[in-house]
Structure 1
Amino acid sequence: MRGARGAEGARQWCWRWRRNPLRRRDDVFEAWIVLIVWTVMVLGGIFVGLVTAHAADASFSRLRHDRHAVPAVLVASTGSAVPAGESAVYDHVRAMVRWTAADGTPHVASALVDSGHRAGERVMIWLDTRGRPTTAPPTGSAAATESSLLGVGAAVALGGLVFGAGGLARWRLDQRRYNRWAREWERLGPQWGHKTP
């Protein structure tokens, strides 16, 4: 009994694809729209998500390769951490530090360091390829998590865009059907002896 009901449901769902006297060209067009929308949402979403995640992961790997940590000395005390809410705190503050580059030249600049240190203490700072202070690159696990989230976000964004475009196309088809029905009613209504207002 359940199998018969499932077969009947499949026949009803696929009625736009079968030849029958009630099927119109717009019905076939709508069936193609639905098929294309779901295909692009699934396959396109997977593809865009994977490409985005791979590109983000490559970008994070490049950051880890390009940035390096060096020891530095605090020029001034950093103070304590700054509260960021009820339970969170920022454990890094910006402070003046000095360090010696690989070629032996001394440098002094502002950099992010751990809070709670006094002037003269040694801290670790991160430098970019030009030797300028920068933020620490994301760890491998943090980069993997963020890459995954970016991939999922890209897939959802594409799915929403395609679904919206498909909905707009189906709405246009419905408007065309309503206009056609109105014209037919204008033509056939008087033959029945009355017209709806």
Structure 2
Amino acid sequence: MRVISGLWRWRRNPLRRATDLAEAWVALVALVLMAVAAPVAGCLAGAAAQDSLQRSVREQRHTRHLVTATVVRDLGEAPLDTDPDTTTARETRSRVLAAWTAPDGSHRHGRALADLKSPHAGDHFRMWTDPHGRITARPLDSPTATTHAVLAGIGAALLAAGLVEGGRRLTVWRMVRRRYARWDQAWERAGPDWGKAGTGS
């Protein structure tokens, strides 16, 4: 609103310089771009991220399988959680030596993270594997993918607005530099005679 009032104020002002009007127009264009282009960029980026992430969700649902594993031996509490998106802070996961049957029917064994507080040999737990039985992270779910897409859209909109504002500031800075250069030239021309009696007569 201040930009529009600024344009109106400079419309017929006798003190108006060409650069004043140009600065006001630059600010108005930047405002319109921030109000229109930034949301459009955010929507496009969010939609593209949503398509890509939902495609990943569908692929992971087909390539990752939940299998039941049996604890062979406890290896102690896991120092770090490998899947922070899907595990709450209250869940404790333990490292165990486990055996399981892969979706392709082969028998597997190895180290795994079990969501058991105090695992004992023979305890069962569920974990995600690929079709060949290799341990993998749980598949991305649709709501999480949508959340990431929304965040990507917001980030793209903020980035577009920042670029527009940066372009506006750079343009105004160059205009001011040019104005100061013209003032310096004018003072240099008037400098030798400035303040002397009879100057300009």
Say yes or no: TM over 0.5: yes
Kindly indicate whether residue 60 of structure 2 is the aligned counterpart of residue 60 of structure 1. no
Partner of residue 99, structure 1:
100
**What is the letter of the counterpart of residue 7 of structure 2?**
W
C-alpha spacing 1:127/1:44, structure 2 compared with 1 (3 Å): farther
Cα distance in 2, alignment partners of residues 46 and 129 from structure 1: 41
CA deviation digits over 1:23-46, x for unaligned, max 9? 444344433432332233232321
Displacement after TM superposition at 1:81 (Å): 6.5
Pair 1:74 & 2:71 matched: yes
> Is residue 2:42 matched to residue 1:49?
yes
Partner of 2:128: helix, strand, or coil?
strand
Q: Is the 8 A contact 2:100 2:107 kept in 1?
A: yes
**AA partner of residue 152 (structure 2):** L
Q: How many residues align?
A: 184
Q: Secondary structure, in 3 states, of the residue corresponding to 1:125?
A: strand
Q: Which amino acid aligns with 1:187?
A: R
Map of 1:115-194 to 2, 5 A cutoff?
115-116=116-117, 117-128=119-130, 131-193=133-195
- Shift in CA distance, 70/105, structure 1 to aligned 2, threshold 3 Å: same
Percent identity, aligned pairs only, is: 38
Contact 1:72 1:98 (C-alpha < 8 Å) held by counterparts: yes
What SS does the aligned partner of 1:193 have?
coil
Gaps of 5+ in 2: 82-88, 197-201
RMSD: 3.4
TM superposition score normalised by structure 2: 0.70
Residue type at the aligned position of 1:164: G
Letter of the 2:69 counterpart = A
Please list every run of at least 4 consecutive aligned residues from structure 1 whose deviation after the TM superposition is greater than 6 angstroms: none
SS at match of 1:104: coil
| Residues 189 and 146 of structure 1: CA distance in aligned 2, closer, same or farther (over 3 Å) | same
Describe the shift of the 1:11–1:38 C-alpha distance in structure 2 as closer, same or farther (beyond 3 A). Answer: closer
Give the residue type in structure 1 aligned to 2:67: V
TM-score (norm 1): 0.71
Label 1:193 to 1:154 Cα distance change in 2 as closer, same or farther (>3 A): same
Cα distance in structure 1, aligned partners of 2:80 and 2:105 = 38
Gap change, CA 1:191 and 1:168, over 3 Å in 2: same
Whole-angstrom distance in 2 between the partners of 1:172 and 1:48: 27
